[in-house]
Structure 1
């Protein structure tokens, strides 16, 4: 039987320890749909494998998965992006680029539940704010 030795490193087979990451993407208080959200790991994160992602549901909700490992994300800091077609449709092309997206977040061992990504309105609102439960 193979056992993980530490939480921060994961298992020797490269499998990361995953914690829940879920929430909603909102624009002017309404759920954003017809797209996806991706978390790009910070260069200082222990796990640098695949970027977790999720399709947005009809209410704007998401539940992140790290393929091929399963539901959840590895602990660490991330920059979130929207799928390019969604960002373009919303007039927020920078939100599709991991180098330009203002959406930054940190996932702890407790996970990330009910996390809200509030996008700026078309009238030139503030840059995206995150973290409201």
Structure 2
């Protein structure tokens, strides 16, 4: 079992990263979407998938990060974050952006650690209210 304070700090680090990614994209959502669809224009992914994803991603990052920051639905937020990382890794591979994958893998590994030691999630709304 991990001690509660290191768990909290790890959860806050992952949460802040996801929350920050989503937050900065919200005011420029259309520009972000246009940038992402342009990035994938020459990839094997169809635009019909890329365009909706480009609008969903910032909301998913923002919500997942927020839930991790406050410690609400932590297990579900960790799993959602890991799924987001898997999709981002797949996208990076489709673009052959190999330099982005280590960062995404690190995020994913942190999220897996959070899931592994979820019993240490003492400083959270989950724990306080027995959710």
TM-score, normalising length: structure 2: 0.27
Higher relative contact order (CA 8 A, sep 6+): 2
Q: Which has the larger radius of gyration?
A: 2
Higher strand residue share: 1
Higher helix residue share: 2
